[in-house]
Amino acid sequence: MTIGNQTWQIGDITGDIYFDYLRSQNRDPVPFMRMYLMIDGNSESKPVKGLRILVYGTNAEIMYAHLQKGSRIGVVGHIQLRYRPNSITPVFEVVAEHIEFIRNIDYERGQRVLEELKQRGKRDGASDSDMESDTQIFDAGESRLDDE
């Protein structure tokens, strides 16, 4: 986890979940998932609409299988700022390092994906360090995250 840059949010997934693979010339494709959360504020502040959350690696595959529009989750991660190609407008996003399931979770579909990952040898208690290495492709600028 990034030291000195940590956030923890609870929210509902407000839209469709996007799943794809980051591709690099010299590496295997890295799964990634993008979703947006609605974060309720308190009576003195406005709610945050559309907090962008990213998940990488086998964790992206697992989260994509469990989550759906309307799922409530808790996200621990770090905030990053980056600039899109051909744009001067920055993007603020949270790179998830851990996700807690709260409600409206598809455990049956998620379990099927976990079994498939185990059969492929991709998941048997994989660590958070998997996500750290997977984000290196993204950090190098080889992504398709902004194809909206």
pLDDT tens-digit profile of 5-26? 899 999 999 889 999 999 888 8
Confidence bin at 106 (pLDDT 50/70/90): very high
pLDDT at 28 exceeding the cut of 90: no
Q: Give yes or no for a contact between 98 and 77, defined as CB atoms under 8 angstroms apart.
A: yes
Domain range annotation of the chain: 7-127
pLDDT tens-digit profile of 34-75? 999 988 766 677 766 788 999 999 999 999 999 999 999 999
Write out the two tokens for 115: 């079994």
Instruction: Report pTM.
Output: 0.75
Single-letter residue type at 111: Q
With both helix axes pointing from N to C terminus, report the angle between 58-66 and 129-139 in degrees, rounded to the nearest 10.
100
37 alpha carbon, distance to own chain's centre: 11
DSSP 6-39: -EEEEEEE-SPPEEEEEEETTEEEEEEEEEEEEE
Confidence bin at 103 (pLDDT 50/70/90): very high
The reported pLDDT for the residue numbered 128 is 40
Q: Under CATH, which number does the domain 7-127 receive?
A: 2.40.50.140
pLDDT tens-digit profile of 112-123? 999 998 888 876
